[in-house]
Structure 1
Amino acid sequence: MYRVLYYTDKGLRNYQQDCLYIDGTIVQAESMKNPSYSEIKKKEILVAVCDGMGGLSDGDIASRFVCKQLKDLSIPFSVEGIYRALYTVQKEFTRTGIINSGTTVAGVYMKENKSIIFNVGDSRVYKLTEKKITYISHDHSYVQKLIDDGIISYTEAFYSPYKHYVEFGIGDIFMEDWKKGVKPYIKNDYLEKDQFYFICTDGVNDILKDEEIFQILYPDPFKNAENLIKELDKRKEDNYSFIILDLT
């Protein structure tokens, strides 16, 4: 059985461009009054967050389109299965007629305690253990390249004025990158007892440092999620959304 909690808020933006996919349920709300919690008695579960790109057109439509595709596709539980699914979503996007648009996507596909982590863009997947929070996805962004090249540290990246520069995603503007072989970040993982996945759009991790997220959520992220929301409400700017997932 899986436990899932999710929440989304438009922040200080005029409208909501985030969209969440929770094992068949698509959520795109301007602001939720309270986080939603459920227990899902299945062997497999797929959850994801999408963040439509605010500087482009139809970001809300783009993010919802990706969630709808995740719902409609039959995805094998494998790294290759996730890659093929995301590439299919990308190709279908180019047939929608949506122009000059794009979205991120980040999620977790679980089968019992095994999991596949994936992301395109700068929405993130973290793992929380009793000792720390670990950023286990990998941004497709200008600042991430600076980190990878050793020019700045991961800590310094939090303060960079360029951290909003996304260099890859799903959308018509990224088709040439897909054709050139740029790929989503996908990796195998697993979840042990008392460990949690935290999946979020950048409206969370651009406002709160990783250590702050950990200090607020642990040791019981489901119980402490409202404390996280309160802290985000004090500082919020962009749309923000998150999902907490564990296995019981």
Structure 2
Amino acid sequence: MGVDGGAVTVTALTHRGAVRKANEDAVVMGSLTVAGADMNAPARCVLPLTGSVVVAVADGLGGHAAGEIASEHAVHRMAESGPNIQRPEDVDELLKHVDEEIKEHAGQHAEFSGMGTTVAGMLLTSEGNFWFNVGDSRTYRLQDGRLIQLSQDDSPSLPPGEDGAPITTNFITQSLGGSGAHAMTPHVGRDPEPGPGAWLMCSDGLSDLVPLEEMERIIASSDGDQLAVHRLWEAAMEASGRDNISIILARRG
């Protein structure tokens, strides 16, 4: 059963963090993309759901600007193809094409060997809401003040640290373009909630540094999504800001 179109309100910020010299993250909001930028405040846009809309973050991997090229290519391709994809199968096909294109580019330029990018986002259509990811960037559904992770981390499972907290790692088992000879398999699924809803998408520059309960508290206590996104960024910066930080809050009305 289809759902009414309506609109999605997207609030986004991408920033290099406190340590990195450049931002290799990128974001896509419908036909809008931001790549390699250092935003000093969240941007907000309202996108009509007259067709399908893709909203996602991408975290580039690889030095010498290679990661920036990979993430920028990924978000541009999602922006171009977004209006034409309607089903989970379309997302799967698109991400596999992007994977092949990044690998081809790296194969033609030795300095970009091994470059890749993670991706995590939502496809919003008249038929429902679909999540997708490759790598360890994340998509959460915001429901009753709780963040429920929809995406599936492509990272090795590690034993907890001495204090019982999970150990984080920068190693991932697959990415767009950076999976080597191994086949890349996107994770794609349908959100159980078909109509209105809210989602948080982020690179690991947020999720590795700010505990889930703190992210929930910040969102619940903030007066509006722009303040919430800004305060999430501040929390990541205060927790060292050792990585690029990208955050999207999307609400479908």
Shift of 1:95: 2.2
Give the aligned partner of residue 110 of structure 1. Answer: 124
The separation in 2 between residues aligned to 1:221 and 1:208, in whole angstroms, is 20
1:67 paired residue among 61, 75, 83: 75
Residue identity (%): 25
AA matched with 2:182: D
Give the aligned partner of residue 3 of structure 2. Answer: none
AA matched with 1:205: S
Give the aligned partner of residue 95 of structure 2. Answer: 86
2:214 paired residue among 212, 215, 238: 212
Shift of 1:230: 2.3
1:52 paired residue among 60, 63, 66: 60
How far does the alpha carbon of each residue in 1:209-237 deviate from its partner, in whole angstroms, 9 at most, with x for none?
11111110126651422222222221211
Give the aligned partner of residue 137 of structure 1. Answer: 151
Shift of 1:26: 1.5
The separation in 2 between residues aligned to 1:112 and 1:30, in whole angstroms, is 32
How far does the alpha carbon of each residue in 1:106-125 deviate from its partner, in whole angstroms, 9 at most, with x for none?
11000147211000000000
Is contact 2:36–2:68 with CA below 8 Å preserved after alignment?
no
1:227 paired residue among 227, 231, 236: 231
2:174 paired residue among 153, 168, 179: 168
Give the aligned partner of residue 4 of structure 2. Answer: none
The separation in 2 between residues aligned to 1:87 and 1:29, in whole angstroms, is 23
The separation in 2 between residues aligned to 1:2 and 1:214, in whole angstroms, is 21
Is contact 1:45–1:111 with CA below 8 Å preserved after alignment?
yes
The separation in 2 between residues aligned to 1:54 and 1:213, in whole angstroms, is 28
Give the aligned partner of residue 34 of structure 2. Answer: 27
Is contact 1:56–1:101 with CA below 8 Å preserved after alignment?
no
SS of 1:50's equivalent in the other structure is: strand
1:10 aligns with 2:20: no
Is contact 2:206–2:233 with CA below 8 Å preserved after alignment?
no
Distance 1:53 1:31, change over 3 A: same
The separation in 1 between residues aligned to 2:210 and 2:127, in whole angstroms, is 28
Q: What is the number of equivalent residue pairs in this alignment? A: 234
Q: Give 5+ residue unaligned stretches, structure 2.
A: 1-6
Is contact 2:136–2:203 with CA below 8 Å preserved after alignment?
yes
Give the aligned partner of residue 245 of structure 1. Answer: 250
For normalisation by structure 1, the TM-score amounts to 0.85
The separation in 2 between residues aligned to 1:82 and 1:123, in whole angstroms, is 16
For normalisation by structure 2, the TM-score amounts to 0.84
The separation in 1 between residues aligned to 2:26 and 2:15, in whole angstroms, is 10
AA matched with 1:41: P
RMSD: 2.3
How far does the alpha carbon of each residue in 1:101-152 deviate from its partner, in whole angstroms, 9 at most, with x for none?
1110111000147211000000000111114111110011113xx5xxxx65
Is contact 2:114–2:180 with CA below 8 Å preserved after alignment?
no
AA matched with 1:108: M
Q: Give 5+ residue unaligned stretches, structure 1.
A: none
Distance 1:100 1:94, change over 3 A: same
Is contact 2:55–2:121 with CA below 8 Å preserved after alignment?
yes
